[in-house]
Homo-oligomer: A and B are copies of this chain.
Amino acid sequence: MVVKRDALEHNIATMAAFTRDHGMLFAPHAKTHMSPEISRRQLEAGAWGLTVATPSQAMTVRGFGVSRIMVANQVVDPTGLDWAAAELAADPSFEFLSFVDSRAGVDLLAERAGARPFPVLVEMGHEGGRAGCRKFSDLLDLAEYVRRADGVELAGVAGYEGALPSANEVRKYLITLQNAVDHLRAQILTVGGSQWFDVVGRELVATQATIILRSGAYVSHDDGYYRERTPFNRIEGSLEPAFEIWAHVLSTPEPDLAIIGMGKRDVPFDEGLPIPRRAGLTVLKTQDQHTIVRGALEVGELVAFGISHPCTAFDKWRVLPLVDADYTVVGTINTHF
């Protein structure tokens, strides 16, 4: 599997421009790639900081030299909290944001706080979503609880619109977030995802809060899940798939059936199977080390595929060659999962 430099750099520049043009800050989700080389490029392109999913990912990107980290989850792990408290105390310029959606979560943070309180974002969820308060009144109560607690301070409001099925539902959800910002006079509103940032850009244009966008998958884009769902299908601009995987035909045991030497260890299979970059081929299934393809192929041939779902592509490789348009290796992308 290779990463195409031109596509990667195009995507980073495209989203840097999109967020800048819409007056948002950008904290790309580093859980997608967990790569120091990509983090550096994202920050050089103007990202405010990086988002991560877990305290251990926060430790890792902190090791990349990142000075603003947002954990897009409630942090409950004592080891992670102790680490964050110590980092905040040791470096006055370090910024560390995390989400809370319950009093129990606030209490856990408050207990572990050091010299500087933990700045937290109260998280508004939605029915059928992941974490986050389900009721607006619960969010306001929680914000009040945060304001009264020692060891934490209210930094703003957080949401995640990526799991919503339609632009209309995203709009309704963003109105709720906007209302929360107004009620709480919050400084920051953060939203995420790589599927609806066009709607985010349009709907939140007049908000008083600083918007921090957390898109992650945009960076490599793909030939499947995100190709179908990117906002650039609706607005001007484009992302380019940066991943390409080449594998050998190991066996053609029946007419029009080929066993390819790549499998679940090499390529994502959870949000769509690999996409052949050659006409006339259909991927039937992936196994641990093999992909079964319908089509006319010969033993020993190399075949190229695109992938679907960046977040389960990067994590299968410790190092990926970065290639130019001629497939000359011009660098490496290391991952730290």
Contact = CB atoms under 8 A, between A and B. Distances in A.
A259 interface: yes
Nearest to A55: B261
Nearest to A163: B287
Contacts of A315: 265, 316
A108 interface: yes
Contacts of A54: 261, 289
Given A31-B289, A108-B299, A132 B76 contact: no
Interface stretch (A145-153, A223-231, A245-253): A245-253
Interface string A124-165: 010001111110000000000000000000000000000000
Contacts of A290: 130
Contacts of A252: 102
B264 A270 contact: yes
Contact of A311 (B125, B288, B312): B288
Nearest to A314: B265
Interface string A279-317: 000000001111010000011100000000001100110
A254 interface: yes
B253 A133 contact: yes
A249 B76 contact: yes
A222 interface: no
Contact-size category for A: 35 or more
B53 A289 contact: yes
Contacts of A259: 130-131
Interface in A173-215: none
B105 A251 contact: yes
Contact of A248 (B77, B249, B270, B289): B77
Given A31-B288, A54-B261, A288-B312, A250 B133 contact: no
Contacts of A318: 318, 337
A248, A269, A318 interface centre (most CB from chain B within 10 Å):
A248
A279 to B, nearest CB: 23
A76, A108, A250, A254 interface centre (most CB from chain B within 10 Å):
A250
A250 B76 contact: yes
A253 B131 contact: yes
Interface string A98-131: 0001101100100000000000000001000111
Which 7 A-B pairs have CB atoms at the shortest separation, nearest pair first? A131-B251, A104-B299, A53-B289, A76-B300, A288-B311, A131-B259, A76-B248
5 contacts: A101-B251, A133-B253, A134-B253, A270-B270, A316-B337
